[in-house]
Structure 1
Amino acid sequence: MSRIDLADRTAALESAVVAASGRLDRELLDDARAVVTRARERGGLSAEHTVVALAGATGSGKSSVLNAVAGSEIATVGVRRPTTSHAVAAVWGDGAGPLLDWLEVRRRQEMPTPADDDPGDDSGAARPRRGLARLRGRRGPAGISTGLVLLDLPDHDSVVVEHRVRAERLVERADLLVWVVDPQKYADAALHERYLRPLAGRSEVVVVVLNQADRLSDAETDAMLADLRRLVAADGLDGARVLAVSAATGRGIDQLKGLLAEAAAR
């Protein structure tokens, strides 16, 4: 079966909205019109960048995961909750400014790419900057040199309404969603009912990361991952990638980097 490109899908949805006007619920049609608008706006911005959003609940460790992937302290990690009030972006590659303006993300950190590597010592040998030049771990796959915008979102369950609104707006605009969960709240009904189930059928744009795996034994991690995969499949996301990481120890971070590298390459 041939693939339908985004422009054709958008046009088809717009035609369906016109045909259904007066026949279907107004709220449903308004949602569809909003999707058409967002798709066209996104299509007019950088196709060279993939927007990946790290979403999750208070205390899940999104900011720590961002820092671990970037190899740099970009996002603030603290005891006070919620810590992230506005989204923070780590950006690999030039030209993402208009895209970030559209996303309304003001806090941006441009990450060095291979072209920005240190020129080397007197012998002419290059000295890549550790953890920054490429999204690649010591045992990881080929890294990302350009083309990734990685966002640390405000908590989706924040007690501050404005924080939740900002998070939900960016969830709607991301190209790939990485849901960061923790061992205490991975089965939270609000996460599954409000955020994951509406994405049913779109497992290719969803990754679920069980953070804080360093607090679990290997047997506990395996059992929790199995349960999490079951819950995600019940949400209609069978096939979504589910993995365990520890931002504290680095466990699983190379695997996550590989998924991000794959997404940016596509």
Structure 2
Amino acid sequence: MTVLPWIGPPQMAEQNLSHRLDALAELVKIGRLHEETKTAAGFSKSLLDDSDAVLRRAGERLRLSGNHTVVALAGGTGSGKSTLFNALAGATFSQPGVTRPTTRHVHACVWGMQGAAPLLDWLGVQRRHRYARASALDSGESALDGLLLLDLPDHDSVVTASMAAVDRLSKLADMLVWVLDPQKYADASVHNRYLIPLAGHAAVFTVVLNQIDLLPEDQVKDCENDLRRLLDAEGLADTPVLPVSARTGAGVEELRELLVEAVSANRAAGDRISADIDSVAGGFDVYAGPQVAPDAALASLAAATGYELSAPVPGDAGSARPPWELSEDDALAEPGRPPWEDATPDG
């Protein structure tokens, strides 16, 4: 029997992603049954809740536009995030502050609005803060067709709702671009709350060192190298660092090319979901064993729930196969409705 190999996030095919979601949903179902019946020690509740959240977000995102790539610009007060957003959008859509540069609302610029409205509703972007690049004057922007660019509120705002919006949208975006500045690039609150938890999301995560125009040329490289050292020490060695000046335009074209590549590949959404699965899948490793529960526990669980559960037969490799190890016949079989497709926007 040929077993299909697991393929890493950058090469994840849509069918493999569905199989991984199915496998995670099966683990959650087993864990919830143990919770209900108390027949055997099961998975931790926090692990099951986190897995449920991943399945729900994945089901909601995969139902929405597959032709758009959601890229979120995140950063702190005064990092120049909104100025960078406007430089990429080619217009002053998100008005930067003057005396106190802050962003309080989520702004969105969409290249190609068709099919984007439900996605914008799901992201919670107010209609008055939605902008479109769809006129005849935007013909030079065709390479970005399908990009949905978000300017997030400041993560360090004194407004509680702003921080909550960043926490929520950083989980929903297909790709994250974190904008740092020379003064606060080493801020522990940024690294501990946002950057370190994203260590497994290198394929959909980029760091921008903005405002390099404020530094002498010889100090730009020193600042970039120090930021690189911090990220490497935090497990983010594969995360690119782009020195940029949104005000002068230096480095903006390199960032634009990165976005063009992400949009043209059109796989950021799948890569993000795959990375989210990886972030919770490791929590199940400590429960690995030859079978889910002893025979007596399985029999008791089956009697209490009506589910036909059986322990693997010794020597029967087929029955002992984990659900994510699929044979070629399994892959070609007509699937039923996957459990993770039962997700709805309201939970």
Which TM bucket (shorter chain)?
A: 0.7 to 0.9
1:69 to 88, 92, 95: 88
1:31 to 50, 56, 59: 50
RMSD over aligned Cα, in angstroms?
Answer: 1.6
1:97 alignment counterpart: 117
Count how many residue pairs are aligned between Structure 1 and Structure 2: 243
2:250 alignment counterpart: 251
Q: Which runs of no fewer than 5 residues in structure 2 stay unpaired?
A: 36-41, 266-347
Corresponding residue SS for 1:77: coil
Which of the pair has the greater relative contact order for Cα pairs under 8 Å at 6+ separation? 2
Aligned-residue offset at 1:145: 4.2
Separation in 1, partners of 2:100, 2:170: 20
On the 8 A contact 1:76/1:83 being kept in 2, the answer is no
After TM superposition, the structure 1 stretch with the greater mean CA deviation from structure 2, 48-57 or 194-203, is 194-203
Separation in 2, partners of 1:6, 1:99: 20
2:311 alignment counterpart: none
2:69 alignment counterpart: 50
Q: Output the TM-score relative to the length of structure 2.
A: 0.67
On the 8 A contact 1:82/1:158 being kept in 2, the answer is no
How many percent identity over aligned positions? 50
Q: What is the letter of the counterpart of residue 190 of structure 1?
A: S
Q: Give runs of aligned pairs for residues 181-260 of structure 1, distance below 5 A.
A: 181-260=180-259
On the 8 A contact 1:144/1:261 being kept in 2, the answer is yes
Q: Which has the higher helix share?
A: 2
Aligned-residue offset at 1:80: 4.6
Does residue 150 (structure 1) correspond to residue 149 (structure 2)? The answer is: yes
1:165 alignment counterpart: 164
Q: Which has the larger radius of gyration?
A: 2
2:131 alignment counterpart: 109
On the 8 A contact 1:55/1:153 being kept in 2, the answer is yes
Q: Output the TM-score relative to the length of structure 1.
A: 0.86
On the 8 A contact 2:144/2:259 being kept in 1, the answer is no
On the 8 A contact 1:58/1:157 being kept in 2, the answer is yes
Corresponding residue SS for 1:237: coil
Separation in 2, partners of 1:238, 1:19: 36
Corresponding residue SS for 1:150: strand
Aligned-residue offset at 1:82: 5.9
Separation in 2, partners of 1:160, 1:40: 31
Corresponding residue SS for 1:51: strand
Corresponding residue SS for 2:140: coil
1:79 to 98, 111, 132: 98
Q: What is the letter of the counterpart of residue 228 of structure 1?
A: L
Q: Which has the higher strand share?
A: 1
Q: What is the letter of the counterpart of residue 100 of structure 1?
A: L
1:15 to 19, 23, 26: 26
2:261 alignment counterpart: 262
Separation in 2, partners of 1:82, 1:216: 20
